[in-house]
Amino acid sequence: MGREIQFSLVYRDMWQSAGKYMPGKDQLEQIAPVIIDMDCFSRVETNGGGFEQIQLLFGENPNKAVRAWCKPFNDAGIKTHMLERGLNGIRMNPVPADVRKLMFKVKKRQGVDIARSFDGLNDVRNIIDSINFAKQGGMIAQGTLSLTHSKIHTVDYYVKMASELIDAGSEEICLKDMAGIGRPVSLGKIVEGIKAAYPDILIQYHGQTAPGFTTASILEVARAGAEIIDVGMEPLSWGTGHADLLTVQAMLEDAGFTVPKVNMKAYMEARRLTQGFIDDFLGYFINPRNRYLNSLLIGSGLPGGMMGSLMSDLENNLNSLNKWLRKNDKQETNLDELLLKLFEEVEYIWPKMGYPPLVTPYSQYVKNTALINVMQMAKGKERWSIIDDNTWDMLLGKQGQLPGPLDPELIEKAKMEGREFYTGNPQDLYPDELDMFKKEMDEKGWDYGEDDEELFELAMHPVQYRNMRSGKAKSDFEKELAEKKAKNSKSESVETATSAITHFSPKTLQIDVNGEKFLVNVSYEDSNLKPSSTSEKEIKQPVGNTKAGGKEIQAPLEGSFFLTKNNDEAPVKVGDNVTEGQVIGYIESMKVYNAISSNQSGVVTEVCLSDGAAVEEDDVLIRLK
């Protein structure tokens, strides 16, 4: 028999790669015993990434979900592992060291065995901190290489990086091929290089399938010495997800490896349950496009894990862009055209932004910048006209060292805006905060929770945790779900009505517009008709939030408006003097904050929106005189 290969089921990542939400505590408890009965997994991914934020968005306590989800696997002797983002912990922005240390202690006591730690810039300083914190917390430290493909991300680059992590105490190495664009032969050479220097180090491979390389990559890394392969399963395998267990098992068995057999009865039951979760409500948040392979991703390198949110962002921005195009008498675009432009823009700006591996959160930063560039340039504005604060922190070195040089154009833009570059240790910029959160919990009478897990949750996800405790999160989620269901029901009604046209096809319609009647001819044979010239009058809706007299500061993009981003900022209020270039608020869009600066000076006469209010492009934020 050949060398043994083990499998790890990335059940959490399967959902994150498909859509916005993943199962809640009750659903996870339901499927865990069935996954165990499949009798083929040595490991299961139980936490990390967006998992806890998703539970909070449901209005549920994520600590209860983690403990309940891990326990059956702990009892069965199956190792559990989590994914954490180094300096960013399990959120999108940097985390103080004391909160990071507490995270590993809490997760270990909740039943998570292995910490898969990566840094979105491959800055080993951030990963080495996680290795040390994980081992102090009693977890197995798995140092991770964020794989991508460029002239600087070579085989030697990754072998050197792995060596630095192992020498610093990493007990395992993960090859994280988050976008699935790692070239199979090169991946095999990386494994060979690591094994040549560290023959006893365990190597685990994680690959998304979107561009189509992954099965070949799995075979290459297995032949080169990798011991564990991450897999998905139906109905959420392939597409922007992961290679299916059954395909990988059959392929490796045929190649001569010893692989576990799969209890097919349990597989089908797990498949049925997962489909049931989709049918229940989770499917409302899964874009069908994410279920297909897409070779266009080879060029852009965008990861499967963010495709769920990307398609949602794209649809929202498409509506906003088309609204602007209609208002300015320009031809509208469609989702395919916008998606292609986005991919092309990502491919263009990625090297200029220093080649950050496209993994959370930096994949979001690059994607967001590219999408805003596309939107702004479609409106005749310049590239780079809006760069959010989080992206600037990445470009300036405040979250780690960029793998490649920054484009001179961005360096000059930073200087013009008075931004300073940072070359020190990123963690030093983010002082400890636990005492501050302890004070908040004491004042509110909140219990720190078992093993300080509630304190940790507040410190890691302060806004989401407070919304969970207040009930706002559950209310918001129920409203969002109701809207999704209503939209779906409306779409089905439209399809029914459309099919009825073949049975009822009026030739003329009388339309009443503001008391004036028009007779309109209707044709069902020719879809390329020009607008009727029955009347010279045009019907136009009021645009924006305008008011006679005074000056207005308008929203440059859609999102949620906030007057401040941090507790130490003072919000702009009526009577304040505002100078040109002064930040007057922020718009949160696509998971990042965009500082909004005044384009003129004056005295504030009206603050038009409250904190957290939804805002569309060109809506008035502040009025001045």
User: What tens digit of pLDDT does each residue of 373-396 get?
Assistant: 988 888 888 899 889 888 999 999
- Say which residue, 581 or 404, is predicted with more confidence: 404
Residue 563 pLDDT: 86
User: What tens digit of pLDDT does each residue of 333-349 get?
Assistant: 888 888 888 889 999 99
Q: What angle do CA 359, 398, 155 make, to 5 degrees?
A: 45
Would the CA dihedral through 570, 573, 575, 581 be positive or negative? Answer: positive
- The share of the chain scoring above pLDDT 90, in percent, equals 60
Residue 567 pLDDT: 63
CB under 8 Å, gap of 24 or more: what pairs does 578-585 form?
578/602, 578/603, 578/604, 578/622, 578/624, 584/553, 584/621, 584/622, 585/561, 585/621, 585/622
Residue 217 pLDDT: 97
Q: What does the alpha-carbon distance between residue 348 and residue 268 come to, in Å, rounded to a whole number?
A: 44
Q: What does the alpha-carbon distance between residue 524 and residue 514 come to, in Å, rounded to a whole number?
A: 27
Q: What does the alpha-carbon distance between residue 58 and residue 22 come to, in Å, rounded to a whole number?
A: 10
Over residues 313-340, mean pLDDT = 81
Residue 81 pLDDT: 97
- The share of the chain scoring above pLDDT 70, in percent, equals 88
Residues 6+ apart with CB under 8 A from 126: 86, 87, 119, 400, 426, 427
Residue 77 reports pLDDT greater than 50:
yes
Residue 371 pLDDT: 87
Q: Which of 305-309, 418-422, 448-452 has the lowest mean pLDDT?
A: 305-309
Residue 305 pLDDT: 59
Asked if residue 179 lies in contact with residue 208, where contact means CB atoms within 8 angstroms, the answer is yes
Residue 501 reports pLDDT greater than 90:
no
Copy the structure tokens of residue 348. Answer: 């263009």
Closest alpha carbon to 614 in 583, 580, 575, 588: 588
Residue 523 reports pLDDT greater than 70:
no
The residues with which 583 forms a beta bridge, in sequence order, are: 597
Q: What does the alpha-carbon distance between residue 449 and residue 327 come to, in Å, rounded to a whole number?
A: 53
Closest alpha carbon to 357 in 138, 127, 589: 127
Q: The whole model's pTM is what?
A: 0.81
Give the SS3 label for residue 38.
coil
Q: Beta strands 583-589 and 592-597: pairing type?
A: antiparallel
Over residues 223-248, mean pLDDT = 96
Q: What is the 8-class DSSP label of residue 82?
A: E
Q: Residue 514, exposed/middle/buried by CB under 10 A (0-12, 13-18, 19+)?
A: exposed
Give the SS3 label for residue 533.
coil
Q: Residue 122, exposed/middle/buried by CB under 10 A (0-12, 13-18, 19+)?
A: buried
- Say which residue, 340 or 86, is predicted with more confidence: 86
Residue 520 pLDDT: 52
User: Which of the four pLDDT bands, split at 50, 70 and 90, describes residue 204?
Assistant: very high
Residue 489 pLDDT: 76
Q: Which of 25-29, 153-157, 495-499 has the lowest mean pLDDT?
A: 495-499
Residue 479 reports pLDDT greater than 50:
yes
- Say which residue, 363 or 395, is predicted with more confidence: 395
Over residues 39-51, mean pLDDT = 93
Q: Beta strands 228-231 and 202-207: pairing type?
A: parallel
Over residues 53-57, mean pLDDT = 93
Closest alpha carbon to 159 in 150, 147, 151: 147
Residue 122 pLDDT: 96
Residue 513 pLDDT: 52
What does the mean pLDDT of the chain come to? 87
Q: What does the alpha-carbon distance between residue 179 and residue 21 come to, in Å, rounded to a whole number?
A: 20
Residue 284 reports pLDDT greater than 80:
yes
Residue 307 pLDDT: 60
Q: What does the alpha-carbon distance between residue 607 and residue 281 come to, in Å, rounded to a whole number?
A: 38
Copy the structure tokens of residue 42. Answer: 């040595």
Which amino acid appears at position 510 of this protein? Q
Residue 102 pLDDT: 98
Q: Which of 215-224, 245-254, 261-270, 565-574 has the lowest mean pLDDT?
A: 565-574
- Say which residue, 158 or 363, is predicted with more confidence: 158
Q: What is the 8-class DSSP label of residue 88?
A: G
Over residues 51-57, mean pLDDT = 93
Residue 492 reports pLDDT greater than 80:
no
Residue 531 pLDDT: 40
Highest mean pLDDT among 290-294, 298-302, 444-448, 605-609: 444-448
User: What tens digit of pLDDT does each residue of 3-25 get?
Assistant: 999 999 999 999 988 888 999 99
Q: Which of 49-63, 365-379, 416-430, 495-509 has the lowest mean pLDDT?
A: 495-509
Residue 55 pLDDT: 95
User: What tens digit of pLDDT does each residue of 537-547 get?
Assistant: 333 333 333 34
- Say which residue, 558 or 123, is predicted with more confidence: 123
Q: What does the alpha-carbon distance between residue 612 and residue 132 come to, in Å, rounded to a whole number?
A: 38
Walk me through the domains of the chain, giving residue ranges and CATH numbers.
Answer: 1-83+246-291 (no CATH), 473-521 (no CATH), 551-624 (2.40.50.100)
Over residues 412-427, mean pLDDT = 94
Closest alpha carbon to 396 in 368, 431, 420, 430: 420
Over residues 28-49, mean pLDDT = 96
Residue 508 reports pLDDT greater than 60:
no
Q: Which residue has the tokens 């459309």?
A: 498
Asked if residue 436 lies in contact with residue 449, where contact means CB atoms within 8 angstroms, the answer is no
User: What tens digit of pLDDT does each residue of 108-125 get?
Assistant: 999 999 999 999 999 999
